[in-house]
Structure 1
Amino acid sequence: MPHQYKTTPSADIYGPGTFMDSSFTPAPQDTARIFEYIAKNTLGFTQNKELWDTVQFEGSSLPIIPGPFKAPLIAAALHAMCGVVAHEIVEDRDGTLTRTQQVTVNTDHAGIWLGTIFAASVEGKDISELVRSRQLSALFQQNFDRDCMATPIKQRSTAIYKTKTPGVWYQLHGSLNPIPVLQSMGINPDYPARTLDEAYDYISRHVEQWNADELEMHNVKNGFCGSICFTPQGWLDTLMGKRLADHPLVGYSRQSHAIPTPPSPFPNIAGDSRPLAGIKVIELVRIIAGPIIGNTLAAFGADVIRVNCSRLTDLGVSSEFPAYSCLNFFLLTINLQALQLTLNTGKRTIDIDLDKDEDKSRLRELIEGADVFVQGFRPDAIARKGFSVNDLLEMAGNRGKGIVYVEENCYGPDGPYHERPGWQQIGDAASGSSYVMGRSLGFKDGTSVLPPLPISDMTTGLVGALGAIMALRDRARLGGSYRVTSSLVKADAIALEPEIGLYSPEIAEKSNQLFQWGPINSSQFVIEILLVVMDGWKRIFPQYFESGPESLMTSFQDGPWGHMDTLKPVVQLSNSTMTPRWLTPSVPHCYHPRNIQWL
């Protein structure tokens, strides 16, 4: 690891509040430095350097995503931290000394993990091929999207647009129902645009009639998603930015006001030595960030039941769509269909209607046996249904066994925007990431562009999983119940900290020359950019996606979709019986009967 890492302010290159590497460090060595920085600043993570030295990073030297961000390295560091805590749990459980074990993380693997939803194949056809050939939807028996993204206008309701304010662009988000968003701005949702470019141009003409603050207040007033594309310094200067800066990246705390409960040692499960074997997780989540939490815990051995809500009216979703049996409202577009193929690996899935008393009772029955509850809805919405953190703390106290309550959102655990809805793109815009990406592509007029991949979603999920694993370790040692929080904006903002640094334009260009990234611009949805990145990876890293000694894929032969190959868990532990892995293939949402029991 370099002894004297330095960054320099790069306002003239990447904009106000940015910092760039003074010199280049190859990815594995730079990740080791980032690992130590995050570990040092994470309350509750071991400060024993001997245990830090059990971590080894490997991989290629250059950045493997477009732009100046070190998101793959941050992800690799967080995965490694999960591995260290997992070894602590095993030591507490059966005496295997953490300092005698090793955690190995490939930084390329961690980067490709950020694109997990397309790093899979079904019956020999990879997801990107199925998307381009329009065959992906044929894998799903029911059409739940309700045509929310069926036209170019609706698709481009989520994009970045120039405003009337000089130098300021705005991230619109059609969310789960773009029609009222468009209509509220005087935009005809039925405008007969024939192409995505034509739709983007049409919406652009309307957005440019608004200044940035008008758009922001309009969306706040109406409860819509959206965000100014701040510069990094611009975000830090806001009240919300200042409040979020007071919180650590990985936030978890013992709930001292809860009814005291005794330590809950980890069970020894015959035939399964994974660190979280025997741990039970309920997942009440949505698109990517929440499901990644359960997906990660499942790989470490947890029994995860994913709950999909039949009626989401009061959970922040438009009421214009009726309830359906087994309704998964979030199958909006092909990328969300791909989520089922990847993020449900290792889980069981059921349907619950939180407007029905009998269904809420069923959920409470499952929670009675759960160790972890993960939720990705707005706190006031979930509280109205009776599943707030305090509701579950009371349940845990009454049963005499603590619980870990994990919640992920956009803006953090408190502050003026705490209850505001948000998605990955909102985190990218608010944090300054979209602005920096635009600058990295040569724009000096405020033009903002989505960073490659769903970075904030994936990182937020990984942060939530790490917090949960640490909380479970502490519950086993000390007893009590715990709350874990993770935030989309915070997950983006860490990559902009001076201690992390951005790659110089010269290094980013070397990556571009190697991977020959296709064009990326402000109009594109995340799936379009993900296809660009995946094409580059498969040109340069074919060995990672094919069978062979360097393959990063794992196969399932007997799942609902037939033969599937999915990306392996990133963390590799030196004891192969303990190393993370999924035992079951991915399944569709609402796949299992509601009366299922814990394993």
Structure 2
Amino acid sequence: MQDALAGVWRTLTGDSPPEATLTGDESVLPGPFRVPAAAAASVAAATLAAAELLRVRGIEPGTVAVDARHAAAAFGSERLLRVDGRPGPSPWGSIAGDFRAADGWVKLHCNYPRHEAAVCWALGVPAVREAVAKAVAGKRAAEVESAVVSAGGAAALMRSRAEWLAHPQGRAVADLPLVALDRIGDAPQRTLFDSERPLGGVRVLELTHVLAGPVAGRVLAAHGANVLHVGAAHLPRIPVLTMDTGQGKRSAFVALDTEGGRAKLRKLIARADVLVQSFRPGALARLGFGTQELAQLRPGLVVADLSAYGWTGPWARRRGFDSLVQMSSGIAEENAADAPAPLPVQALDHATGWLTAAAVMTALHRTVTEGGTWRARLSLAGTGAWLDRLGRKPGTPSEVDFADLLEDVDSDFGRMTRVRMAGELPGAPPQWEHATHQPGSDPAVWSPVSAGTGAAGVSAAHPG
């Protein structure tokens, strides 16, 4: 696990990581991929980045510690979530899943109504699982994938690792770093709020959906950030993921398809410190919020861009989700027998989320020590390539009890049982100030800094 952490930290900073204690072993999750090592390393990287921000504040962080079992629980947090003692509703749509085609397997991601409609239109069938299965069985997997994607849906045929590495997008991903962290504009050095928490007084605007981006915002909130998630009232949501990833955040709706909504977003960005977004590459720019526009609108901003298949190559703008990237990149094929064999948890999503939080905090550290406007770029496929490079472990199944890592809190949805925040930081233990809010229940404005941050006043980081 230390090897995985060292590689991540070198990518983020160019240096060897500070001291961190990683405990436990990799038997906490089944399967041959080193998902527990990736989980522990991702959690440790984010926690170490928070520790470095404490040092900037003159606070001794203590020794960061991560237990592999706790990291594994965090990577399965949506599966462990309970509300009033019951699991959340399944995130999977009625016709979502793996289907056998004439020459292989294809996954259809139909968790949103528009994606389900795209599958039905592409295949010429109603939204009935048996009808979809029959239609897919009569076609080649590549034909199904192409038809669904062309119709605006999300699908992936199961490729082998060798096929992916030979694919133009696989080659493009292989040339990308796990995390790209670049200075995109000039700005004076940042002055942080006076706070006893790593991200006290830091405003994070989150324009994300599904899992990786929301996980990043959840981590930043646990380290003291003021996180405002902005969505749209008309867009569908996956309730269990909303409940799980909304810890510590406020939630507002802004209609970005209107000029008034875009004006409201510009005001939010102008007073933000961080923007985390997972729009498809190019989509936010088409709304007037491209990289250069953001750098001009808010000098000193840290922007984190998340994508499915990376920011170069023929699939750079393709819709994608963790399960689809696993199918495309050879992960699901490696141990497939009668059906694709996915990872035991949505590891690409969760690892990308934690690594995004680490990249954001590393970039914030640079705005304090160097100044500048910064952009971090990550992708699910890039995280998958990193997981592949970590090698393999014995795939013996294990029964692991996570009960002692859970806590009960009151939420807008009822009595919620959730995974406690992973990663020990003695100098400022991470914690969420409140549980998940109902989507859109907060105003689309920045809330004042709470007394809990120890803020002494507004710095140059928050103009206006």
TM-score, length of structure 1 as denominator length: 0.71
Q: 1:330 aligns with which of 205, 228, 236?
A: 236
Q: Distance in 1 between matches of 2:22 and 2:446?
A: 40
Q: Distance in 2 between matches of 1:241 and 1:278?
A: 40
Answer yes or no: is the 8 Å Cα contact 1:162–1:170 preserved in 2: yes
- The verdict on how the C-alpha distance between 1:121 and 1:215 changes in structure 2, with shifts beyond 3 A counting, is closer
Say whether residues 1:473 and 2:371 are aligned partners: no
Answer yes or no: is the 8 Å Cα contact 2:32–2:393 preserved in 1: yes
Q: 2:392 aligns with which of 498, 502, 516?
A: 502
- The verdict on how the C-alpha distance between 1:265 and 1:554 changes in structure 2, with shifts beyond 3 A counting, is farther
Partner SS state of residue 442, structure 2: coil
Q: Tell me which amino acid in the other structure corresponds to 1:110.
A: A
Q: 1:180 aligns with which of 97, 111, 118?
A: 118
Q: Distance in 2 between matches of 1:426 and 1:562?
A: 32
Partner SS state of residue 339, structure 1: helix
Q: 1:455 aligns with which of 328, 347, 350?
A: 347
Q: Tell me which amino acid in the other structure corresponds to 2:429.
A: T
Correspondence for 1:536: none
Cα shift at 1:266: 2.4
Q: Distance in 2 between matches of 1:131 and 1:355?
A: 30
Cα shift at 1:131: 4.7
Cα shift at 1:263: 0.8
Q: What are the Cα deviations for residues 75-120 of structure 1, in whole angstroms up to 9, with x where unaligned?
A: 1111111222222221122153x6xx20110100111111111323
Correspondence for 1:317: none
Correspondence for 2:100: 162
Q: Distance in 2 between matches of 1:64 and 1:43?
A: 27
Correspondence for 1:93: 57
Partner SS state of residue 33, structure 1: helix
Correspondence for 1:314: none
**Where do 1:372-387 residues align within 5 Å?**
372-387=274-289
- The verdict on how the C-alpha distance between 1:363 and 1:213 changes in structure 2, with shifts beyond 3 A counting, is same
Q: 1:424 aligns with which of 299, 322, 341?
A: 322
Cα shift at 1:282: 0.4
Gaps of 5+ in 2: 450-464
**Where do 1:422-571 residues align within 5 Å?**
422-438=320-336, 442-443=337-338, 447-497=339-389, 500-504=390-394, 508-509=395-396, 511=397, 514-515=398-399, 540-541=400-401, 544-545=402-403, 551-557=404-410, 559-571=411-423
Cα shift at 1:58: 1.7
Q: Tell me which amino acid in the other structure corresponds to 2:443.
A: P
Partner SS state of residue 572, structure 1: coil
Correspondence for 1:77: 41
Correspondence for 1:574: 426
Partner SS state of residue 349, structure 1: strand
Answer yes or no: is the 8 Å Cα contact 2:352–2:383 preserved in 1: yes
Cα shift at 1:596: 5.0
Q: Runs ≥4 in structure 1, deviation > 4 angstroms?
A: none
Gaps of 5+ in 1: 1-30, 133-144, 192-198, 310-325, 516-539, 546-550
**Where do 1:169-248 residues align within 5 Å?**
169-176=105-112, 177=114, 178-189=116-127, 191=128, 199=129, 201-248=130-177
- The verdict on how the C-alpha distance between 1:348 and 1:179 changes in structure 2, with shifts beyond 3 A counting, is same
Correspondence for 1:587: 437
Q: 2:223 aligns with which of 282, 300, 324?
A: 300
Say whether residues 1:262 and 2:188 are aligned partners: yes
- The verdict on how the C-alpha distance between 1:174 and 1:340 changes in structure 2, with shifts beyond 3 A counting, is closer
Answer yes or no: is the 8 Å Cα contact 1:560–1:587 preserved in 2: yes
- The verdict on how the C-alpha distance between 1:451 and 1:583 changes in structure 2, with shifts beyond 3 A counting, is same
Answer yes or no: is the 8 Å Cα contact 2:118–2:148 preserved in 1: no
Say whether residues 1:249 and 2:178 are aligned partners: yes
Q: What are the Cα deviations for residues 348-379 of structure 1, in whole angstroms up to 9, with x where unaligned?
A: 11111112222222221111110001111113
- The verdict on how the C-alpha distance between 1:170 and 1:596 changes in structure 2, with shifts beyond 3 A counting, is same
Higher mean alpha-carbon deviation, 260-269 vs 277-286, is at 260-269
Say whether residues 1:44 and 2:5 are aligned partners: no
Cα shift at 1:385: 1.5
Correspondence for 1:102: 63
Q: Distance in 1 between matches of 2:329 and 2:448?
A: 40
Higher mean alpha-carbon deviation, 415-424 vs 447-456, is at 447-456
Larger RCO, structures 1/2 (Cα 8 Å, 6+ apart): 2
Q: Distance in 1 between matches of 2:4 and 2:35?
A: 11
- The verdict on how the C-alpha distance between 1:278 and 1:435 changes in structure 2, with shifts beyond 3 A counting, is same
Q: Distance in 2 between matches of 1:364 and 1:299?
A: 26
Say whether residues 1:405 and 2:257 are aligned partners: no
Cα shift at 1:160: 1.8
Q: What are the Cα deviations for residues 380-415 of structure 1, in whole angstroms up to 9, with x where unaligned?
A: 221121222222111024xxxx10111111101211
Q: Distance in 1 between matches of 2:240 and 2:59?
A: 40
Q: Tell me which amino acid in the other structure corresponds to 1:425.
A: S
Q: What are the Cα deviations for residues 397-455 of structure 1, in whole angstroms up to 9, with x where unaligned?
A: 4xxxx1011111110121111011111221111121111242xxx45xxx423322222
Answer yes or no: is the 8 Å Cα contact 1:552–1:568 preserved in 2: yes
Q: Distance in 1 between matches of 2:303 and 2:439?
A: 22
Q: Distance in 1 between matches of 2:98 and 2:417?
A: 34
Cα shift at 1:62: 5.0
- The verdict on how the C-alpha distance between 1:353 and 1:131 changes in structure 2, with shifts beyond 3 A counting, is closer
Q: Tell me which amino acid in the other structure corresponds to 2:15.
A: T
Q: Distance in 2 between matches of 1:450 and 1:204?
A: 20
Q: What are the Cα deviations for residues 298-351 of structure 1, in whole angstroms up to 9, with x where unaligned?
A: 111100000012xxxxxxxxxxxxxxxx33x233xxxx2122322111111111
Q: 2:82 aligns with which of 105, 121, 125?
A: 121
Say whether residues 1:65 and 2:29 are aligned partners: yes
Q: Distance in 1 between matches of 2:252 and 2:12?
A: 35
Q: Distance in 1 between matches of 2:26 and 2:156?
A: 32
Partner SS state of residue 573, structure 1: coil
Q: Distance in 2 between matches of 1:45 and 1:488?
A: 22
- The verdict on how the C-alpha distance between 1:306 and 1:92 changes in structure 2, with shifts beyond 3 A counting, is same
Q: Distance in 2 between matches of 1:62 and 1:494?
A: 17
Q: Tell me which amino acid in the other structure corresponds to 2:160.
A: T
Q: Distance in 2 between matches of 1:221 and 1:586?
A: 36
- The verdict on how the C-alpha distance between 1:453 and 1:171 changes in structure 2, with shifts beyond 3 A counting, is same
Number of aligned positions between the proteins: 447
Cα shift at 1:243: 1.0
Q: Tell me which amino acid in the other structure corresponds to 2:65.
A: T
Answer yes or no: is the 8 Å Cα contact 2:218–2:246 preserved in 1: yes
Q: Distance in 2 between matches of 1:218 and 1:122?
A: 39
Say whether residues 1:371 and 2:269 are aligned partners: no
Q: Tell me which amino acid in the other structure corresponds to 1:416.
A: P
Partner SS state of residue 405, structure 1: strand
Answer yes or no: is the 8 Å Cα contact 1:379–1:388 preserved in 2: no
For the pair shown, which has the larger CA radius of gyration, 1 or 2?
Answer: 1
Q: 1:341 aligns with which of 240, 243, 249?
A: 243
Query: Identity across aligned pairs (percent)?
Result: 26
Answer yes or no: is the 8 Å Cα contact 2:118–2:151 preserved in 1: no
Correspondence for 1:11: none
Correspondence for 1:390: 292
